[in-house]
C-alpha cells in the first residue's frame, strides 16, 4: 500500500529529525577517553569490581607477584557481578549493566562500542517523544502532528541528551525507559476509559517499572508522579487494584536484587555517603577533591538548584550561570514584566494601538544599553517571562477541560524529580546530589511544554511573535555554542571536564603492549596510594590496581603476558625487555592528568 502525500511527507520529516538526532549523538562520541564513571561501567559490565575486590586470585597470589591477561579474564559468576555492582556503583543499575554486557559480547569493548547503547537509547527517546506528543493530546490530526514534530526536533538538539549519549552510563537508557513507562501508563488510562485495558498492558507496565528502577533508583520519582496522577484523577477502584498490583510485583522484583543481589548494601552506602559529604560540606567544601560541596542551607540549595531549573527549559538553558550582576538581572526582569503586561493588555485586541507594534522589540533592545556583561544572555533573560506567560496561556486556551489532567501530569513530571533532589539535599545536609542528570527524567515532558509554547507563538500577531521568535533564534545560537563546547570536551557541566581529554590512554597502552611484547618481557604498572572511605571500598591492599585493570580489559583474553604492579612507580606503564633489561615507557599517566 502506497502512502498518501501527507503521510509520506510526515515520514520524510520524522526520518530527517531522527537522522539529525543520530548524527548529533554519534559525532565525536569516541574522541575522548573514558572517565571515572565510565571506568566503573566498563569493569562492572565484565563482572569486575574496581580495585579488584573479587580478583584476589589474580593480583594477590602468595607465591608470585605476576599475573597475566588470561588470569585476569577468568570466567565470572553472578556473585562476581553482584559484588562488582555493590562495590563499584552502590548496588546501582544492574539492568543497564546486563544490557551493556550483551552489547559488548557482540560488538566488543571499544570506547564507541560501550557508548553506543547510550546513542541508541537517546535517539529512540527522540522518536518516542514524537509518538508520545502525537498520541496523548486531543488535537486535530494536523495540529497533533505539528506539535509532535516540534517536540521531536527540540529533543534532537537538547544538550543534555546529546552529552549523555556520549557517556557509557545508564542515563540515556533511563530517560527512554521512564518516558516509555509514562506512555504505557497513559495508554492504560485511555483504554480503561473506553473499555477494560488488556492484562498484557499492565504486565508490560509492571516490567517497565522494575527495569527502570533497576537501571537507576531515582526513576522512582517518575513513578511517584504516576501515583499522584492516580490519586488525583482515577476514580475506578479496579484500576487502583490493577495498578497497585503492577507496582507491588515490580517492587517485588527490585527487592530480590536488594535482598539477594548487589543491592544489599545500597542503603548502608547511601547513609554513609550522606554523612561523609555532610562532613566535607561543613569542614572542607571547596578543596576536598569531590568538587564544590556546600551545607544544605536555603541560600546554598537555591543557588545550586537554580542552574538545574534553568537548564530544564531550552530557552532558559545556561542563563542561571551566564547572567551576572544584580543590576543586569534586574533590568532584564523588569523588561520581562513590562513585556508580560503588554502581552496581557493587547494580545487579544483586534486593532491594538500602532505604538504597541514597536514597543516590544524596542523594550528588549533598550536593555542592551544597560547590560555590562553577557548582553545576549540578558536579552534572552528579558524574554523568558513573556515566553513562560505565553506557555501558560497556551495550556489554558488551547486544550479542552478533559485535557487538564494530562497538563497537570506533564507539570508534575517536569518538576517533581528536581523537587525530590532538593528535598534529599536538605535531608542529607549537603548539596552534592544537586546535579542535572539525576533529574533528567523530566526533560521529555518539559520539551513537550516548550513545543506547546512554540506552536502557540506561531499563531500570534506579528508584533508579538516576531520579537520573541528572534530571541529564540538568538538562544538557538547560544545552544549551538554549548554543543560545540560539549563536542570539544570543555562544557564542564555536561562532560565533567573543562580541559579536553585525549583518546583512551589505557586502550592505547594495550595496543602498544600487544605490538611490542615478546615472551620473556614483563609489563610493570604504576600504583597510587589508595584512600578507602568505607568497608565497601576496602580491597585488602594499600595501593591501587585500577591502571592494571583498565589496560588488561583491552588485552587479548588468552594472552600470557607476564605483568606485575611496581610499588615504587606512580605514573608510568613500562615494558621491560627480557633479554636486555631495556625499559620502554608505554605511557606516562602524569598523576591525575590522564587518569580522568
Over the stretch 487-540, which tens digit does the pLDDT of each residue have?
A: 999 999 999 998 999 999 999 999 999 999 999 999 999 999 877 777 777 788
Closest CA to 439 of 281, 313, 344: 313
CA distance 185 to 190: 9
Q: 386 or 265: whose pLDDT is higher?
A: 386
Bridge partners, residue 564, by sequence: 524
Give which of 386, 367, 300, 298 is closest to 329, Cα–Cα.
Answer: 367
- Look at the pTM and tell me if it is higher than 0.85: yes
534 vs 265, 527, 538, CA distance in Å? 12, 20, 7
Q: What is the pLDDT of residues 427-469, one digit of tens each?
A: 999 999 999 999 999 999 999 999 999 999 999 999 999 999 9
Q: Which three cell numbers stand for residue 389?
A: 506567560
N-to-C CA span, the chain: 54
Contact 154, 444 (CB under 8 A): no
| Between residues 536 and 283, the one the model is more confident about | 283
Q: What is the largest CA-CA distance in the chain?
A: 93
Distance CA 436, CA 305 (A): 9
Spell out the alpha helix ranges (H) of 261-323: 266-283, 298-312, 319-322
State percent of the chain over pLDDT 70: 99
**Residue holding cell 605483568?**
563
Q: What is the pLDDT of residues 42-59, one digit of tens each?
A: 999 999 999 999 999 999
With beta carbons less than 8 A apart as the criterion, state whether 453 and 446 touch. no
Cell numbers that stand for 83 in this block: 559484588
The 572-576 sheet, strands edge to edge: 562-565, 522-525, 572-576, 583-588
pLDDT at residue 1, as a whole number: 46
To the nearest whole number, what is the mean pLDDT of the chain?
95
Q: What is the DSSP string of 60-118?
A: --SS-S-B-HHHHT----HHHHHHHHHHHHTT--HHHHHHHHHHHHHH-S-HHHHHHHH
Q: Which residues contact 350 (CB under 8 A, 6 or more apart)?
A: none
Q: How far apart are CA 594 and CA 587, in angstroms?
A: 10
Euclidean distance between CA atoms 373 and 361, whole angstroms: 20
**What is the average per-residue pLDDT within 213-228?**
98
Amino acid at each position: 500500500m502506497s502512502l498518501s502525500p501527507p503521510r509520506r511527507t510526515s515520514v520524510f520529516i520524522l526520518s530527517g529529525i531522527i537522522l539529525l538526532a543520530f548524527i548529533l549523538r554519534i559525532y565525536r562520541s569516541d574522541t575522548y577517553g573514558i572517565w571515572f564513571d565510565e571506568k566503573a561501567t566498563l569493569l562492572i559490565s565484565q563482572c569486575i569490581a574496581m580495585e579488584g575486590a573479587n580478583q584476589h586470585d589474580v593480583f594477590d597470589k602468595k607465591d608470585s607477584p605476576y599475573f597475566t591477561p588470561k588470569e585476569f579474564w577468568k570466567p565470572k559468576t553472578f556473585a562476581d557481578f553482584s559484588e562488582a555492582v555493590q562495590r563499584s556503583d552502590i548496588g546501582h543499575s544492574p539492568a543497564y549493566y546486563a544490557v551493556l554486557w550483551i552489547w559488548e559480547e557482540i560488538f566488543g569493548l571499544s570506547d564507541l562500542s560501550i557508548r553506543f547503547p547510550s546513542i541508541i537509547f537517546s535517539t529512540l527517546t527522540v522518536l518516542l517523544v514524537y509518538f508520545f506528543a502525537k498520541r496523548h493530546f486531543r488535537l486535530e490530526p494536523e495540529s497533533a502532528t505539528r506539535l509532535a514534530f516540534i517536540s521531536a526536533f527540540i529533543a534532537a538538539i537538547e544538550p543534555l541528551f546529546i552529552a549523555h549519549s556520549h557517556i557509557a552510563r545508564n542515563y540515556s537508557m533511563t530517560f527512554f525507559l521512564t518516558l516509555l513507562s509514562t506512555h504505557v501508563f497513559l495508554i492504560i488510562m485511555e483504554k480503561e476509559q473506553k473499555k477494560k485495558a488488556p492484562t498484557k498492558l499492565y504486565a508490560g507496565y509492571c516490567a517497565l517499572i522494575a527495569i527502570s528502577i533497576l537501571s537507576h533508583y531515582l526513576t522512582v520519582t517518575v513513578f511517584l508522579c504516576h501515583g499522584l496522577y492516580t490519586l488525583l484523577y482515577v476514580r475506578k477502584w479496579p484500576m487502583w487494584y490493577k495498578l497497585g498490583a503492577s507496582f507491588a510485583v515490580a517492587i517485588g522484583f527490585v527487592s530480590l536484587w536488594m535482598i539477594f543481589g548487589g543491592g544489599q548494601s545500597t542503603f548502608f552506602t547511601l547513609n554513609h555517603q550522606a554523612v561523609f559529604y555532610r562532613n566535607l560540606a561543613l569542614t572542607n567544601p571547596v578543596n576536598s577533591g569531590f568538587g564544590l560541596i556546600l551545607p544544605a542551607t536555603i541560600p546554598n540549595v537555591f543557588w545550586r538548584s537554580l542552574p538545574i531549573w534553568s537548564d530544564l527549559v531550552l530557552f532558559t538553558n545556561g542563563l542561571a550561570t551566564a547572567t551576572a550582576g544584580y543590576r543586569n538581572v534586574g533590568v532584564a526582569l523588569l523588561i520581562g514584566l513590562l513585556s508580560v503586561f503588554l502581552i496581557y493588555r493587547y494580545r487579544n485586541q483586534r486593532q491594538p494601538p500602532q505604538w504597541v507594534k514597536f514597543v516590544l522589540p524596542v523594550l528588549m533592545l533598550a536593555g542592551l544599553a544597560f547590560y555590562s556583561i553577557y548582553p545576549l544572555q540578558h536579552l534572552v533573560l528579558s524574554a523568558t517571562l513573556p515566553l513562560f506567560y505565553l506557555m501558560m496561556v497556551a495550556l489554558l486556551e488551547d486544550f479542552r477541560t478533559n485535557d487538564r489532567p494530562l497538563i497537570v501530569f506533564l507539570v508534575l513530571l517536569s518538576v517533581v524529580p528536581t523537587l525530590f533532589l532538593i528535598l534529599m539535599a536538605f535531608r542529607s545536609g549537603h548539596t552534592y546530589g544537586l546535579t542535572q542528570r539525576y533529574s533528567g527524567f523530566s526533560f521529555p515532558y518539559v520539551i513537550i511544554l516548550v513545543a506547546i509554547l512554540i506552536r502557540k507563538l506561531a499563531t500570534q500577531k506579528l508584533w508579538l511573535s516576531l520579537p520573541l521568535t528572534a530571541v529564540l533564534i538568538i538562544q538557538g545560537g547560544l545552544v549551538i555554542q554549548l554543543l560545540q563546547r560539549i563536542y570539544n570536551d570543555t562544557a564542564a557541566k555536561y562532560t565533567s571536564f573543562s580541559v579536553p581529554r585525549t583518546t583512551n590512554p589505557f586502550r592505547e597502552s594495550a595496543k602498544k603492549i600487544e605490538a611490542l611484547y615478546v615472551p620473556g618481557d614483563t609489563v610493570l604498572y604504576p600504583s597510587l596510594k589508595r584512600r578507602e572511605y568505607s568497608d565497601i571500598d576496602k580491597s585488602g591492599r594499600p595501593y591501587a590496581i585500577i591502571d592494571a585493570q583498565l589496560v588488561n580489559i583491552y588485552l587479548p583474553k588468552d594472552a600470557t603476558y607476564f605483568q606485575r604492579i611496581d610499588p615504587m612507580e606512580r605514573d608510568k606503564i613500562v615494558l621491560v625487555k627480557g633479554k636486555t633489561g631495556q625499559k620502554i615507557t608505554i605511557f606516562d599517566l602524569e598523576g591525575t592528568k590522564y587518569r580522568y
